[in-house]
Amino acid sequence: MTDDGAAPALAVSGVSHAYGARKALDDVTLAVGQGQFTALLGLNGAGKTTLLSLVTRLFDTKVGSISVLGYRIDREPGEALRQLGVVFQARTLDLDLSVRENLLFHASLHGIGGREARERTAEVLADVELAERARDKARNLSGGQMRRVEIARALLHRPRLLVLDEPTVGLDIASKLAIVTHVRTLVRDRGVAVLWTTHLLDEIEPSDNVVILHQGKCMAAGLVSDVIAQNGSNSLRGAFTSLTGSREMVA
């Protein structure tokens, strides 16, 4: 299948995944529209990281299907991954390389070299306001700066879908706010679709789409207001508690 503009940025259909006897995902279906911000909300262990491992093809999808801009990740992985920018929960910068070297390396992994790679590197670093740190070793950056570099790197090959796995975990309030604001700007100004996994309610706005994942199952999906209304609650926290039976959600 090719990208004809009508396909959602991400389509997950009937996906299940197990680690041995332990089921991590059970018949999960969700979609992220093009240019849409979707929050994937769930507690630790809900299956968010497993789902992202399947979306990024770190794991093979054995049950169900996943498509990025219409390209099946199992059948056309190259095309699907070209459309995808990823920020993993764990830090993935090479600490021994400079910020610029990390980005140039990433560019080469997408077949971008020479002047184009250098120009794009300068451009994305300017976007995250870290141009002056380009020659610093990655290990000399703060946690928030590293995360911003990872977001810059994920955007270097100009993907149309950006997936971020709990990108604000461990960051201070200012860094967290800077990252959330930057990503929302990407959605608004550049039409990048975003799947943002989190367990923090304060990162979700009323106008967002939300998918609630609990114990590997998709409990609800839709606009925040619709999810609240469908559950007869007066807040997202209330809806989440009623759907999952959990009161552990933060903020």
Partner 1 sequence: MTTVARGFTVRQHLICLRGITWREGLRFVHQRERFISALVRPLVWLFIFAAGFRQILGVSIIPPYDTYVLYEVYVTPGLIAMIQLFNGMQSSLSMVYDREMGNMRMLLVSPFPRWYLLVSKLLASTAVSILQVAAFLVVAELWGVDLPPWGLVAVIPALVLVGLMLGALGMLLSSMIKQLENFAGVMNFVIFPMFFASSALYPLWLVQQSSPMVYLICRLNPFTYGIELIRFSLYGKLDPIALVVVVVMTAVFMIGAIVAYDPARGLLVRRGGGPG
Residues in contact with partner 1 by CB under 8 A are 2-5, 19-20, 53, 56-60, 69, 77-84, 86, 88, 90-97, 101, 104-114, 153
Which of residues 69 and 224 has its CB atom nearest to partner 1 in the complex? 69
CB of residue 28 vs partner 1: minimum separation in angstroms? 17
State in angstroms the smallest separation of the CB of 39 from partner 1.
22
Burial 19-40 (b: 16+ CB within 10 A, else e): eeeeebbbebebbbebbbbbbb
DSSP H/E element including 66: strand 63-68
Nearer to partner 1, 95 or 223 (CB): 95
Nearer to partner 1 by Cβ, of 69 and 155: the residue is 69
Instruction: Give the nearest distance from C-beta 133 to partner 1 in angstroms.
Output: 18
> Coil, strand or helix: which one is 72?
strand
| Cα distance between residue 36 and residue 51, in whole Å | 19
- Minimum Å distance from CB 186 to partner 1? 18
CA distances, 209 to each of 15, 30, 127 (Å): 20, 11, 25
Residue with Cβ nearer partner 1 (110 or 237): 110
Q: Indicate the length of the chain as a whole number.
A: 251
Min dist. Cβ of residue 82 to partner 1 (A): 4
Report the residue number, 56 or 198, with the smaller CB distance to partner 1: 56
Q: Which candidate, 14, 68, 82, 77, places its Cα nearest to that of 193?
A: 68
